[in-house]
Amino acid sequence: MSTEYDASQIQILEGLEAVRVRPGMYIGSISSRGLHHLVYEIVDNSVDEALAGFCTEIKVKINEDNSITVRDNGRGIPVDIQQKAGKPALEVVFTILHAGGKFGGGGYKTSGGLHGVGASVVNALSTWLDVKVYKEGKIYHMRFEKGKVVENMHVIGECDPGESGTEVSFLPDATIFEETVYDFDILKVRLRETAFLTKALKIVLIDDRVEKKEMSFHYEGGIKEFVTYLNKGKAPIYDEVIYCEGVKEKVVVEVAMQHNDTYTEGIYTFVNNINTPEGGTHLSGFKNALTKTFNEYARNNKLLKENEDNLSGEDIREGLVAIISVKIQDPQFEGQTKQKLGNSEAQTAVNAIVSEKLTYFLEQNPGIAKLISDKAITAQRARAAARKARDLTRRKSALDGMSLPGKLADCSSKNPEECEIFIVEGDSAGGSAKSARKRDTQAILPLRGKILNVEKARPDKVYSNAEIKSMITAFGTGIQEDFDISKLRYNKIIIMTDADVDGAHIDTLMLTFIYRFMPELIKEGHVYLAQPPLYKLEKNKKVWYAYSDEELDNILKEVGRDQNNKIQRYKGLGEMDAEQLWETTMDPERRVLKKVVLDESMLSETDLTFNTLMGDQVAPRREFIETNAKYVSNLDI
Ligand code: TTJ
């Protein structure tokens, strides 16, 4: 191509170069998260086209070389010359930062937060990017490398005049990203969510690498179906999903909800299809409307007697699964991570629409209203009982001078920074761990058998459970409203269980308890899973430990598969003596720990995972054990 560098071109190159110099500023991170974010950035353009009413299908393909192809059947990015820039609009879209919104022709452009930074950022961070536009019988093509034009826009062929659409392929730059391999499941979760939020849009995800896979997401029911999906494997207390929609003050509001028979609430909020894990005005508008409307209905219909207190919001939301989706012209994001919606008109709009539609729904469906009110009244009573139980525990521990649980072998150091606590399955392994540990910094708390499944127990039961009480006192932080992370007595909480199915189940019960009652411990990175070895191999008085079958294979390749190899498969922690337990699993110098992390963008999925595992159904449970590792990342080695 001929290159005449005029001022505007130099500006463009400087702009895209800035993206390459500080990629994190534009896509949040250069880890796996940023890598996947590139796909969402491109797909969001097609979703905007769908929201504008011109696109019904998006195909996302992971190619063999881990490049990505996104194709839609929208109108196609404009190819005519843009007056101001003097170049094809297509080129502008991929080379000018924040150009996206200018071509939307109204609609709801995403801005703020990390989203909506546009196709030019993806282009700047790709080794190459290819775009094809199908429009008015022609196929236009253009190619870039590291954000720079290497092939100007030109027609490469003809297409059916009735066909239109955009196809973008790109290869993330391996010199920029720490991770370059796409994870099908991560894309799956996000694209499924996008499909739920964009009624009637079909999204197809194809994996064209060695293990070929294809999934299609298409939900005519939109967020109503999202709620049904989230309640899968749980028991809804009524069949219908309650649905409210409307527009007020230019805010488009959609809410879907349904109660199940559990005790936890799962409310997921979105603004312009982007999830807002910290909530904000749309969420508070919803909560206010729900509490007010329901109490009003309950009073008017004598479900609450005159001498009875109003139901609290928490009572009414017990077991509630809800999706709140708003579309708003100019979203303002607040808070530390810029994930909390700040627009006050969203609060007003959600409040008004939910109040009106829910009042109508309750009047039309007195049977359902009664079921919700029965559940909320029971919740109210249980909450009072739980408060009593907790106050009792609190008073008792104050009297005892905060006495620690009898089974705890505490460490001598009082500096939480250097202290860790091992939660150990079973008394016998607990015994070995006690003799193996480094007394000054390592504490051991043995637990008897399986801990209570908090997913299935009323809160008051949770407070009176002995194993759980001993953990709460040992950690020192208190729980829920009382939670105070500054009182944490150990920097690391390490769950140590057998490397078998039972052990995995106990891990999940533990993680569920922590996730529901002290989620900050996970968010702040204090929770770990110990990794005991699966095999011990002895040869010529030398010893090797293997933590997976693969590792055993590798060791055998190195030392040779001889007759005199002695391989022991550990069935549990109990088979190791104190010294073995120390050197394989507890010694900070040699052990492998898995740090438990929460992916905020997968919160609805994380909730679902905890629930399916803890629920009664057997089939979904297996699914969790297989995908469990997704939520856990290897860190401390
Ligand atoms: C904008 O208004 C005029 C007609 O075309 C509209 C448009 O830009 N549509 C559009 C853009 N559909 N799809 C895209 C698109 C698709 C991908 C995969 C990537 C990008 C950057 C845009």
Asked if pLDDT for residue 55 goes beyond 90, the answer is: yes
> Across residues 479-493, what is the average pLDDT?
89
Q: Which position has the higher pLDDT, 449 or 335?
A: 335
Confidence of residue 603 (pLDDT cuts 50, 70, 90): low
Confidence of residue 113 (pLDDT cuts 50, 70, 90): very low
Beta-ladder partners of 207: 62, 213
User: Which two tokens mark 259?
Assistant: 């109660």
Pocket test for ligand 1, best of 44, 153, 164, 166 (most atoms within 8 A of CB): 166
In angstroms, how far is the first alpha carbon of the chain from the final one?
Answer: 51
pLDDT score for 107: 42
Q: Which position has the higher pLDDT, 86 or 113?
A: 86
User: Which two tokens mark 261?
Assistant: 């028979």
pLDDT score for 600: 67
pLDDT score for 165: 98
pLDDT score for 4: 53
DSSP letters for 269-327: EEETTEE-TT-BHHHHHHHHHHHHHHHHHHHHTTSS-TTSPPPPHHHHHTTEEEEEEEE
Choice among 85-94, 158-167, 404-413, 592-601 with the minimum mean pLDDT: 592-601
pLDDT cut 90: percent of the chain above it: 57
Q: How far is it, in rounded angstroms, from Cα 87 to Cα 339?
A: 36
Q: Are 579 and 436 in contact (CB under 8 A)?
A: yes
Return the residue matching tokens 């150091």: 413
Q: Helices 223-230 & 184-197, crossing angle to 10 degrees?
A: 130
By CB neighbour count within 10 A (0-12 exposed, 13-18 middle, 19+ buried), where does 395 fall? exposed
In this structure, is the dihedral angle defined by the CA atoms of residues 24, 27, 33 and 39, taken in order, positive or negative?
A: negative
Enumerate residues 6+ apart whose C-beta is below 8 A from 353: 244, 245, 246, 248, 253, 255
> How far is C-alpha 293 from the chain's CA centre?
31
Q: Which position has the higher pLDDT, 629 or 22?
A: 22
Asked if pLDDT for residue 623 goes beyond 80, the answer is: no
CB of 493 closer than 6 angstroms to any ligand 1 atom: no
Return the residue matching tokens 């629920």: 615
Confidence of residue 103 (pLDDT cuts 50, 70, 90): very low
Q: Which position has the higher pLDDT, 533 or 351?
A: 351
CB of 105 closer than 6 angstroms to any ligand 1 atom: yes
> Across residues 436-460, what is the average pLDDT?
87
pLDDT score for 531: 87
255: nearest Cα among 243, 246, 265, 247: 243
CB of 75 closer than 6 angstroms to any ligand 1 atom: yes
Asked if pLDDT for residue 633 goes beyond 60, the answer is: no
Q: What is the mean pLDDT of the chain?
A: 86
CB of 70 closer than 6 angstroms to any ligand 1 atom: yes
Q: How far is it, in rounded angstroms, from Cα 177 to Cα 34?
A: 8
Q: Which position has the higher pLDDT, 221 or 277?
A: 221
**Which residue's CA is the nearest one to ligand 1's atom 13?**
46
Q: Which position has the higher pLDDT, 482 or 483?
A: 483
Asked if pLDDT for residue 621 goes beyond 90, the answer is: no
What 3-state class would DSSP assign to 87? strand
Using the mean position of ligand 1's atoms as its centre, give its distance from the Cα of residue 58 in Å: 12
Tell me the per-residue pLDDT of 140-182, one tens digit each, with 9 for 90 and over: 999 999 999 999 999 999 999 999 999 999 999 999 999 999 9
Q: How far is it, in rounded angstroms, from Cα 136 to Cα 144?
A: 24
pLDDT score for 163: 96
Highest mean predicted confidence (pLDDT) among 182-186, 500-504, 535-539: 182-186
Tell me the per-residue pLDDT of 281-292, one tens digit each, with 9 for 90 and over: 999 999 999 999
pLDDT score for 551: 86
CB of 72 closer than 6 angstroms to any ligand 1 atom: yes
Strands 542-546 and 527-530: unpaired
**Which residue's CA is the nearest one to ligand 1's atom 20?**
45
87: nearest Cα among 156, 11, 26: 11
Confidence of residue 606 (pLDDT cuts 50, 70, 90): low
Q: Are 255 and 246 in contact (CB under 8 A)?
A: no
Q: How far is it, in rounded angstroms, from Cα 423 to Cα 433?
A: 10
> Across residues 578-592, what is the average pLDDT?
90
> What is the 3-state secondary structure of 121-132?
HHHHCEEEEEEE
Most distant CA pair in the chain: distance in Å? Answer: 84
Tell me the per-residue pLDDT of 30-46, one tens digit each, with 9 for 90 and over: 999 999 999 999 999 99
Confidence of residue 306 (pLDDT cuts 50, 70, 90): confident
pLDDT cut 70: percent of the chain above it: 88
Confidence of residue 442 (pLDDT cuts 50, 70, 90): very high
225: nearest Cα among 185, 191, 198: 198
pLDDT score for 402: 59
> Across residues 245-256, what is the average pLDDT?
96
Using the mean position of ligand 1's atoms as its centre, give its distance from the Cα of residue 90 in Å: 9
DSSP 540: T
Which value, in Å, is the radius of gyration of the alpha carbons in the chain?
28
Q: How far is it, in rounded angstroms, from Cα 554 to Cα 535?
A: 12
Asked if pLDDT for residue 400 goes beyond 60, the answer is: no
**Which residue's CA is the nearest one to ligand 1's atom 4?**
75
Return the residue matching tokens 């349904």: 258
pLDDT score for 462: 81
Inter-CA distances, 142 with 69, 93, 94, 96, 147, Å: 14, 12, 10, 15, 12
Q: How far is it, in rounded angstroms, from Cα 445 to Cα 425?
A: 9
Inter-CA distances, 511 with 143, 185, 298, 508, 573, Å: 48, 21, 37, 5, 20
Q: Are 20 and 27 in contact (CB under 8 A)?
A: no
Inter-CA distances, 471 with 390, 517, 555, Å: 14, 12, 38
Return the residue matching tokens 């092939």: 151
Q: How far is it, in rounded angstroms, from Cα 92 to Cα 77?
A: 10
What single letter denotes the amino acid at residue 246? G
Confidence of residue 560 (pLDDT cuts 50, 70, 90): confident
Using the mean position of ligand 1's atoms as its centre, give its distance from the Cα of residue 110 in Å: 14
| Buried/exposed code over 551-586 (b: 16+ C-beta within 10 A; e: otherwise) | ebeebbeeeeeeeeeeeeebebbbbbeeebbbbbbb
User: Which two tokens mark 1?
Assistant: 């191509």
